[in-house]
Structure 1
């Protein structure tokens, strides 16, 4: 595996290796329009806005989420390419030691 690919995969795994981030990913993915703003997410998780924003920033930087500013609000949706990277990791065949 190339170093750049290994670093990308490690970044994605690090971004989702947190229970709050997994919850956020699930909430956004299952939202009626497939998108949510920070206000919606803070209410659902009972967390403060800076905490949720920090987690969303981490997941966006890892390529798991897309963001779109609409006026004063930022809406987040699941990035299909980022999720495909997660699926690819999960599909990789396990190699056993000989």
Structure 2
């Protein structure tokens, strides 16, 4: 997921505030909760792996100094606007 970004992050972070916007898929959590059939068990396992990878990617980026805004498609635009306003109010832009 983030492998392409990692090599360029040090150079970007030296000169810029880096914010990664990540669109969460609510269907993943629905898949993760369904386990009535064998197919659903496999789907739940796959969804759990993707959710864990997304969380880990966010943790890695945050540890490197990147701001990560992760929300579903409907909530992402206002979350990004709020993040921008918070950064601006704190004098970080």
Bigger Rg, which one: 2
TM-score by length of 1: 0.27
User: Which structure carries more relative contact order (alpha carbon 8 Å, separation 6+)?
Assistant: 2
| TM-score after normalising by structure 2 | 0.28
